Amino acid sequence: MSFEPKIISFLCNWCSYAGADLAGTSRVKYAPNVRVVRVMCSGRVDPMFVVKAFQSGADGVLICGCHPGDCHYSEGNHKAARRIPLLKRMLAQLGIEDERVRLEWVSASEGDRFASIVNEMTEQIKGLGPFSPNGGG
Amino acid sequence: MAKLKLALYWAAGCGGCDVAVLDINEKIVDVAEIADIVLWPIALDFKYHHIEAMEDKAIDVCLFNGAVRNSEQERMARLLRAKSKVLVAFGSCACFGGIPALGNFTDRAEIFQRAYVEAPSNDNRDGTLPQIQTKVKEGELELPEFFDTVLTLAQVVDVEYFMPGCPPPTDLILKVVDALATGQLPPPGAVIASDKTLCDECERAKEEKKISKIYRPHEIIPDPQRCLLEQGIICCGPATRGGCGLRCIKTNMPCRGCFGPPMGVLDQGAKLVSAIASIYQTNSEEEVARMVEEIVDPAGTFYRFGLAASMLRRKRMQGVTHEEDHH
């Protein structure tokens, strides 16, 4: 059986979740590998959530928020934009490839964009293979 | 009252925890009054077989310092667990892996290569590496097995109490001595320290946290009255348990995180990422990238004492079919 990655995605309530919803209602086809967790804001995504996802068996983590300047809470997505790069650098030191964590801005009207991000990420992670903490052991 | 039987053991650690026990100075006499020491490898000549000969639960309290990084330490952890009524993870290494657990960024093969082959002080032309069994003409010699992954004490056996600190401060040791003397022990699982974060206990002036440049401690002389984080120095206080007596802060050095994560925090490193990155004073992608690069070793800084106890426990080992089942 071919490897089907599990991608946990944290979508902000105001833009990205609506964007994913639009992808659904518009009947855009995209990879079924993404498991959506709705959060109020991308700024709510504690880096601990991302690590916990990997610990619990995720192969990738996708965080989506409103475009810069559009945050419902004005600053939340900026906070995500500061935290995720630092987190990614730390995770790289722990052997987690760059492509496994992705931060993207998806507005409520960007259903197609959400679908293409999910498709692209799914393909990239298929290429990397499964993530198993402590490497197969 | 019969005297308590006390054991102290030193596993993968620097020995500082044993010295910390002596740092209680004259109070050590009180310890001797209430307790007979049955094992203390750094100070007294007891052998492992003396412990093996004891009945189960014959030892009242065992203070176990150091992480578990080889099979001898694992065997002693299991033995002392069986023989002790109360097992205390004593110090940051036993609690969270401590400095030895930075070895979890690498593995046995890499460590052996570095320590026995590449290290410039070696003259090892034959590339001899430690073997578990070695045949010599007198018979077979045995060394403990060196693990790929450093473990915390609680990852090997059940532990009653956790006493963090590198090393645990004297007042907390005395608190435990008093509790033992009076028989008033906290509920099992308790961490003998504060329930608050270090920041909560820190007396420095704190204003708005906004930083635009990260400094390493040797690059500036910080103002001793102001929050170190606000001065751009990575201080682990926001995601570190208090109770240490602010030893580092009072010498104008940042917190390095030796008390481990505070209550409710599962991963000290990830929480520190959150705390540090949140106070970057910029919305520009380039500026964020610059500040991310200014932290020389994020994982080593944020997991300095806590890698073995963190959610991922170690750097991922690629393509290894593992012979040990310690994960």
Separation in Å, CA of A137 to nearest CA in chain B:
5
Q: Which residues of B touch A101 (CB under 8 A)?
A: none
Structure tokens at B176: 């435990």
* Residue A1 confidence (pLDDT): 67
Mean pLDDT of chain A: 94
Looking at the fold, whether B234 and B290 belong to one and the same domain comes out as yes
* Residue B1 confidence (pLDDT): 62
Query: Does B243 fall in a domain?
Result: yes
Looking at the fold, whether B86 and B215 belong to one and the same domain comes out as no
* Residue B28 confidence (pLDDT): 83
Strands (E), A30-72: 34-39, 60-65
Which residue type, as a one-letter code, is found at position B167?
P
Say if residues B270 and B311 touch (Cβ distance below 8 Å). yes
Looking at the fold, whether B210 and B298 belong to one and the same domain comes out as yes
Q: Which residues of B touch A129 (CB under 8 A)?
A: none
Predicted TM-score (pTM) of the model is 0.93
The span from the CA of B203 to the CA of B205, in Å, is 7
Looking at the fold, whether B213 and B297 belong to one and the same domain comes out as yes
The span from the CA of A12 to the CA of B208, in Å, is 27
Q: What is the mean pLDDT of the segment spanning B206-216? A: 92
Separation in Å, CA of A24 to nearest CA in chain B:
31
A69 touches chain B (CB under 8 A): no
Query: Using the beta-carbon criterion (under 8 Å), do B280 and A82 form an inter-chain contact?
Result: yes
Tell me the Ramachandran region of residue B232: left when phi exceeds 0, alpha when psi lies from -120 to 50, beta otherwise: left
Mean pLDDT of chain B: 92
Query: Using the beta-carbon criterion (under 8 Å), do A85 and B266 form an inter-chain contact?
Result: no
Domains of chain A: residue spans and CATH: 7-128 (3.40.50.960)
In tens, the pLDDT along B151-165 reads 999 999 999 999 999
Q: Taking a contact as any Cβ pair under 8 Å apart, which residues of chain A between 30 and 49 contact chain B? A: 46-48
In tens, the pLDDT along B74-125 reads 999 999 999 999 999 999 999 999 999 999 999 999 999 999 999 999 899 8
Looking at the fold, whether B70 and B120 belong to one and the same domain comes out as no
In tens, the pLDDT along B127-158 reads 899 999 999 999 999 999 999 999 999 999 99
Cis amide prior to B186 (ω within 30 degrees)? no
The residue in chain A having the minimum alpha-carbon distance to the alpha carbon of residue B322 is A137
Res A111 pLDDT > 60: yes
Looking at the fold, whether B48 and B164 belong to one and the same domain comes out as yes
The percentage of residues in chain B with a pLDDT greater than 90, rounded to a whole number, is 83
Q: Please give the tally of structural domains in chain B.
A: 3
Structural domain of residue B296, as residue ranges? 198-302
- Residue listed under structure tokens 């991310």: B292
Query: Does B322 fall in a domain?
Result: no
Query: Using the beta-carbon criterion (under 8 Å), do B312 and A51 form an inter-chain contact?
Result: yes
Looking at the fold, whether B37 and B166 belong to one and the same domain comes out as yes
- Of A48, A93, A94, nearest to B266 by CB-CB distance is A48
**3-state DSSP call for residue B290?**
helix
Res B319 pLDDT > 70: no
